[in-house]
């Protein structure tokens, strides 16, 4: 703990506190001294970047916004970080305390507005209390289940000064880790030893917890099959022989025992309910948050740090080996083989405009193994998840549990700032890209050599081709239709990057390779695919689960 004795302005005090907490990058609209500042065009994207930074680093990402509307825009990132359980701290200026309730410039009850989306939201009681609030926000964001926090700083605190001695709190240490109750571990081990159709589900909580070493050991030593959630991909390589992602539905429906590692029984896992997951399936739930246990259905709880709990399970299962000739595993491998063959045919489809699978096949052939993939969109993200293999953890960022559209550019900037020696490739739908396209200027200004591939079907889920669009009266256009062949690639040219407009596999392959070889400029590859037409929209997540009894 350091002590500042001379007269100190609030803004400088805040900067000193952030520096002490190890903050090296701040995302936002306006800057403060000491730290590297990445100025965005919109607070939404900046707040998304801060959340992604928290996931990638394990330390809170920091977003700085102006008051009022800036805070409202930043709420998007708070909500996204809250649902995804990522550590983040939003810091915003506010009206002077002497102007409260007087209709001050951009006045808003900001602490109240942010409280429902955060673990902790506060305004320091004085300039001297800024270090206390900063330390508590960083500690709260990382301890227990990670999440976002908010710090409110009135204008008279930022510009005002204190002559009193002020203590700067030291950097928040790593969160305490604890094991699960040994009695619960014994029950879970017995369930797995007697299960005929066991399955491990690896969630993004396992990726955040850096549990890859322990989980790989558990799977390799026991022979248990595993299924990664979208952002849990890479904790164990997707090419591991026990990965059953290509038979996801069958693996879930047939399992009689599931180990849930850092994943929740929410909409992504069908609320754990029948028929997607059998009603008699025993679920061993490993989670850091006791309140999450038994949400939506009865489970066997193992509350604790994932790495430590997985090590407990591995120790209890020492000597156990799941039969690789089991009917369950044979059935899953047969399904994987059938689905793989089906996809191989789609990859070879030579029709123009191209299909999603043909586009992804051309991209996949050229990506390095250590690429960082950012994925968002509707069909773009869903199909890409099944095509692109991840070999290492935390190299895939997508719309996440909150299914947030518009995160792509913010995530890409954060990922490239963190992974300075890796290539970051964003594969996004045209609708999703439109949410934050002007952040290309942010990336260009920061000299980030991002590769943005816009999979353009002229619409949201489904679009129309030129002919169908032009002959349809405006009042009859589907709400999903966007202007055909919008030249998103030209935005890259406008900010000093390089844009590519492609229609064929050959053009796409060439453009992607050139973009990957670029080391200084960002690239946007705008690839036209089959629009889809006036199809009825149907979504698996819209089906209602069985009611809880």
In-domain check, residue 443: yes
pLDDT at position 333: 96
Q: State whether 324 and 380 are in the same domain.
A: no
The CATH number given to whatever domain includes residue 270 is 3.40.50.1220
pLDDT at position 8: 81
Look at residues 129, 162, 195 and tell me which one is the last residue of a structural domain.
162
Kindly write down the DSSP assignment for every residue of 354-415, as one continuous string. BPHHHHHHHHHTT--TT-EEEEESSHHHHHHHHH----STT-EEESTTTT-TT-HHHHHHHH
The CATH number given to whatever domain includes residue 368 is 3.40.50.970
Q: State whether 305 and 403 are in the same domain.
A: no
Q: Which residues of 485-497 are buried (b: 16+ CB within 10 A; e: fewer)?
A: bbebbebbeebeb
Element (H, E) at 353: none
Domain holding 264, by residue range, is 182-331
pLDDT at position 61: 97
Residue with tokens 């193994």: 369
Q: State whether 186 and 327 are in the same domain.
A: yes
Q: Is the dihedral of CA 424, 425, 429, 435 positive or negative?
A: positive
pLDDT-flagged residues of the chain (< 70): 1-6, 30-35, 537-549
Look at residues 283, 301, 331 and tell me which one is the last residue of a structural domain.
331
In-domain check, residue 132: yes
Q: State whether 150 and 229 are in the same domain.
A: no
Q: State whether 188 and 304 are in the same domain.
A: yes
What is the spatial distance between Cα 177 and Cα 386, in angstroms, rounded to a whole number? 34
In-domain check, residue 175: no
In-domain check, residue 171: no
The answer to whether the beta carbons of residues 44 and 73 sit under 8 Å apart is yes
Q: State whether 411 and 299 are in the same domain.
A: no
Q: State whether 190 and 301 are in the same domain.
A: yes
What's the domain count of the chain?
Answer: 3
Q: pTM here?
A: 0.93
Q: State whether 311 and 400 are in the same domain.
A: no
Q: State whether 327 and 377 are in the same domain.
A: no
pLDDT at position 5: 54
Element (H, E) at 280: none
Kindly write down the DSSP assignment for every residue of 44-88, as one continuous string. HHHHHHHHHHHHHHSS-EEEEE-STHHHHHHHHHHHHHHHHT--E
In-domain check, residue 250: yes
Q: State whether 240 and 102 are in the same domain.
A: no
In-domain check, residue 548: no
Q: State whether 418 and 486 are in the same domain.
A: yes
Q: State whether 216 and 326 are in the same domain.
A: yes
In-domain check, residue 534: no
In-domain check, residue 236: yes
Kindly write down the DSSP assignment for every residue of 153-211, as one continuous string. EEHHHHH-EE-S-EEEPPPPPPPP--PPPHHHHHHHHHHHHH-SSEEEEE-HHHHHTT-
Structure-token pair, residue 89 = 């701290």
Please give the distance of CA 73 from its chain centroid, rounded to a whole number.
18
């Amino acid at each position: 703990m350091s002590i500042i004795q001379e007269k100190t302005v609030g803004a400088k005090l805040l900067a000193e506190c952030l520096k002490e907490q190890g903050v090296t990058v701040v995302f936002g609209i306006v800057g403060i001294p000491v730290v590297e500042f990445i100025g965005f065009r919109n607070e939404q994207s900046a707040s998304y970047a801060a959340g992604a930074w928290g996931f990638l680093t394990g330390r809170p990402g920091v977003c700085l916004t102006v008051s009022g509307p800036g805070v409202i825009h930043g709420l998007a990132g708070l909500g996204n970080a809250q649902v995804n359980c990522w550590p983040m701290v939003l810091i915003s200026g506010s009206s002077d305390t002497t102007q409260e309730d007087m209709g001050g410039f951009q006045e808003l009850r900001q602490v109240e507005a942010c409280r429902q989306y955060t673990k902790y939201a506060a305004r320091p009681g004085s300039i001297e209390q800024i270090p206390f609030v900063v330390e508590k926000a960083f500690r709260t964001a990382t301890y227990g289940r990670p999440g976002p926090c908010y710090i409110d700083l009135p204008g008279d605190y930022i510009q005002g000064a204190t002559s009193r001695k002020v203590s700067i709190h030291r950097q928040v240490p790593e969160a305490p880790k604890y094991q699960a109750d040994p009695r619960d571990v014994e029950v879970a081990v017995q369930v797995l030893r007697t299960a005929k159709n066991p399955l491990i589900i690896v969630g993004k909580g396992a990726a955040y917890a850096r549990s890859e070493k322990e989980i790989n050991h558990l799977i390799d030593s026991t022979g248990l099959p595993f299924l990664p959630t979208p952002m849990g991909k890479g904790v164990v390589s997707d090419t591991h022989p026990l990965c059953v992602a290509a038979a996801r539905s069958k693996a879930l429906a047939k399992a009689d025992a599931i180990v849930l590692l850092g994943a929740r029984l929410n909409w992504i896992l069908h609320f754990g309910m029948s028929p997607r997951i059998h009603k008699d399936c025993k679920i061993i739930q490993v989670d850091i948050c006791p309140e999450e246990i038994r949400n939506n259905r009865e489970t066997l709880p193992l509350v604790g740090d994932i790495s430590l709990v997985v090590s407990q399970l591995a120790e209890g299962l020492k000597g156990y080996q799941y039969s690789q000739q089991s009917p369950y595993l044979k059935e899953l491998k047969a399904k994987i083989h059938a689905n793989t063959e089906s996809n191989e045919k789609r990859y070879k489809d030579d029709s123009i405009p191209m299909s999603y699978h043909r586009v992804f096949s051309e991209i996949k052939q050229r990506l390095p193994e250590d690429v960082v993939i950012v994925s968002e969109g509707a069909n773009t993200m869903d199909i890409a998840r099944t095509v692109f293999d991840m070999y290492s953890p935390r190299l895939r960022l997508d719309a996440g549990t909150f299914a947030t559209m518009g995160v792509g550019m913010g995530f890409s900037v954060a990922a490239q700032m963190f992974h300075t020696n890796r290539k970051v490739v964003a594969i996004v739908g045209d609708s999703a890209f439109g949410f934050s396209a002007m952040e290309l200027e942010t990336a260009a200004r920061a000299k980030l050599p991002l590769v943005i591939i816009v999979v353009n079907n002229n619409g949201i889920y489904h679009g129309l081709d030129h002919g169908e669009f032009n002959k349809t009266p405006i009042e009859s256009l589907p709400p999903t239709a966007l202007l055909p062949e919008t030249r998103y690639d030209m935005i890259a040219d406008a900010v000093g990057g390089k844009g590519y407009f492609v229609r064929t596999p050959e053009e796409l392959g060439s453009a992607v390779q050139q973009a990957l070889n670029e080391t200084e400029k960002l690239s946007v590859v705008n690839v036209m695919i089959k629009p889809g037409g006036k199809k009825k929209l149907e979504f698996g997540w819209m089906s209602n689960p069985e009611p809880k009894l």
